[in-house]
Structure formats: structure tokens, C-alpha cells
Amino acid sequence: MDQEPPRQIFLDACCEISSRLESVGFRFAKSGPHASRRAGDWTFRISFQSNYLNVSGEYVELVVHASVYNKAIREWDERNGWPANGSDWIAGGHLGNLRTPYHWRTWNIANPLTRQAEIANIVANVQTTVLPFFERFGAPRELAEELAHSEVPGFMFPQNAVRFVFWQLGPEAAENCMSYWVARLPSPDVFRSERDVPTLRDRLAAGSDANNLARVARTMKIGLSL
């Protein structure tokens, strides 16, 4: 078995995967490690993750994540009082969560005899899952219209969907999006209680979808009659 350090095997694989995406505009940054493509205000990033439990010659994990950024949404956050620190990040996640059914996906690239096949499989998954996800942001208003009435992979938390819809389409559509998610909460009454008689600070935080939707409702003045 190849006894190269797992870190070097991982970085070499990241570089090779990225090189196969250069034809569609991605450029590799070892410091990430990630591969990024820019289009106007948009940045599309494919990030690579490994595992501190890697064992040379036995297991070298490679995981793929994708993220979408737009500097204009940070300005929107700050201008409109979105209840979180302004951020360029819009949507994304682990590759397996960008399609349904959701499934955490990892690859083991330790074995030099199978490594090229694993890398080819990773590239194929990026091409069939990540790139189509990125392409959806080429028509952001259409994507927002879909998000206003349905769940779209890559918008894992409801508040992220509401934010994108509000940014693209305004408060009425954002309220429709919030209504969609409130109807699917395990207990909508938790949302209503926290919205109407708040016990938590307004800023979004780790916690339940109900509490974060309530924070959005009361700070952005939408969903007040849901």
C-alpha cells in the first residue's frame, strides 16, 4: 500500500479533482482546500474535507461540500436589518444533501490501486449534483419563486430559504415561504409563542427552526398572522 502521508494524498486528490473542473471555470486554492468560480457578484465554491482519523495505507477520507455566495446579499442584510450578522453565504452543504433523498457521502482514497476510480467518481458526482445546483442561481428569481412554496436542497434551514426569497422577491413572497415552513414544524405553536411573547434575543442562533422563524417574523415583520 502507498505509505504517503494521508494529508498529501488528500491534497493531491483535491488538486486533481479541481483540475478536471478547470474547463468550467474553477480554480484550485490549496489553502482551502477548495475550488472556486466567480460570475459577477456570485461565487461558487467546492470545498474538500478530510478526517483526523485517517490512517496511512488504510483510510484517507475525502468529503465534498458546495457553497454559494453573493456580496449583494450582505449589503441587503445590513440595509434591511436581517437578524444575523451580514454574510455573503446564501446556500449549500454537503454534496449528499444537495439531492434527495439526503445521504452523507464519503470516499476513501487511501488505496493507490483504486484511487483514480474514486477520484473519477467524485468528479462525476460533482458534475451531476453540484454543478446543476450552482446553475440554478443563474435564474435567482425563478429559484426564489420555487423556494416560496417548496423545499429545495441546499437551503437546509428554513430561515435561509426565507432570507433568499425576501432578498429576491420581497416581503409577500417571503411570508409565503415562511408559511410553507411553519406548516411543517413539529409544533407550530412554539413558533407563534416565541413570535408573540419572545423569550429569546432577536438574533438568529443555533436552535430549533421554530425559534429562528419566530425571530425572523418579529424582526422582519412578516408572518405575524400565521
Q: Is the pLDDT of residue 83 over 60?
A: yes
Kindly report, residue by residue over 62-78, the tens digit of the pLDDT.
999 999 999 999 999 99
- C-alpha cell belonging to residue 99: 439531492
Per residue in 114-160, pLDDT tens? 999 999 999 999 999 999 999 999 999 999 999 999 999 999 999 99
Q: Which residues contact 127 (CB under 8 A, 6 or more apart)?
A: none
CB 159 within 8 A of CB 213: yes
pLDDT at 3: 78
Per-residue CA distances from 202 to 21, 82, 88, 207, 211 (Å): 41, 10, 20, 13, 10
Q: How far, in Å, are 81, 109, 150, 213 from residue 51 at the CA level?
A: 38, 12, 34, 33
| pLDDT band with cut points at 50, 70 and 90 for residue 112 | very high
Prediction pTM value? 0.94
The DSSP call for residue 95 is G
